Amino acid sequence: MTKPISISFIVRIILLIALTASFVQFETFYMQREIIRNMAYGLNTFLTASVLISIGHFILVKLYNSRNEQQVVRGNFVLGITRVATVGNVFFIIVSLMIAVGINPKDFITSMTIVAMAIAVIFREYITNMISGLIIMFSDQFSVGDRIKIGEYQGKIVDITLANLVVRDEDDDAVMIPNNLVFTATLVNKTSQKSNKIVVKFELPIDRSFTVAELEQYLSPLFQKNPNLDHSQGFTIKVADMTKDYIKYKVEVSAISSSNKIHQQVQSNILNEILQFTRMQG
Q: Where in the chain is the domain with CATH 3.30.70.100?
A: 197-281
Separation of alpha carbons 160 and 86, rounded Å = 14
Q: What is the pTM of this model?
A: 0.54
Burial label for 189, CB within 10 Å (0-12, 13-18, 19+), is middle
Can you spell out the DSSP letters for 108-173? Answer: HHHHTHHHHHHHHHHTHHHHHHHHHHHHHHT-SS--TT-EEEETTEEEEEEEE-SSEEEEE-TTS-
pLDDT of residue 53: 92
Long-range contacts, stretch 154-159, CB < 8 angstroms, 24+ apart: 154/190, 155/260, 156/260
Q: Which residues of the chain register pLDDT less than 50?
A: 1-2, 72-73
Separation of alpha carbons 233 and 231, rounded Å = 5
Asked whether the beta carbons of 254 and 266 are under 8 A apart, the reply is: no
Separation of alpha carbons 168 and 270, rounded Å = 22
Say whether 207 sits in a helix, a strand or coil: helix
Name the CATH topology of 197-281: Alpha-Beta Plaits (3.30.70)
147-189 placed in CATH 2.40.160: no
Q: Which helix (H) or strand (E) holds 42?
A: helix 34-67
pLDDT of residue 44: 92
Q: Where in the chain is the domain with CATH 2.30.30?
A: 147-189
pLDDT of residue 1: 46
CB atoms within 10 A of CB 157: 23
215-to-49, 207, 240 alpha-carbon distances in Å? 66, 15, 14
